[in-house]
């Protein structure tokens, strides 16, 4: 069997899956872009907040969130993103939201 490249990251499935809808991120630390998929709940928005803050610590003054694959979002999740955008703008940084969803029910 061929060996994967050293920079290949393979996620391991937990034998105990988390309950409820989840959010997944694919982060490009070189460009400051994050592709997001799944359900934007308060927990998912907190995950995104941590990712964005980490990218800022790496020196990215502009972070791009591509939300095209977000299946559902609730008001709290969208509010967290709005607050994060305001905080970044106040410090001279920029959070760009691409393909942002409108509020939809999260089951």
Asked if pLDDT for residue 36 goes beyond 90, the answer is yes
Model pLDDT, residue 33: 98
Q: What is the pLDDT of residues 20-30, one digit of tens each?
A: 568 999 999 99
pTM of the model: 0.74
DSSP string over 24-36: EEEEETTTTEEEE
pLDDT-derived band of residue 3, with 50, 70 and 90 as boundaries?
very low
The DSSP element (H or E) to which 71 belongs, if any, is: strand 62-73
CATH class, range 35-98: alpha beta
């Amino acid at each position: 069997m061929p060996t994967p490249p050293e920079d290949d990251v393979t996620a391991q499935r937990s034998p105990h899956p988390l309950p409820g809808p989840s959010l997944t991120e694919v982060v490009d630390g070189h460009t400051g872009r994050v592709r997001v998929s799944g359900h934007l709940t308060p927990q998912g928005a907190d995950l995104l907040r941590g990712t964005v803050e980490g990218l800022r610590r790496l020196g990215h003054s502009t972070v791009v969130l591509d939300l095209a694959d977000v299946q559902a979002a609730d008001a709290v999740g969208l509010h967290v993103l709005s607050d994060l955008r305001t905080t970044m703008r106040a410090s001279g940084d920029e959070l760009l939201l691409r393909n942002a969803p409108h509020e939809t029910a999260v089951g």
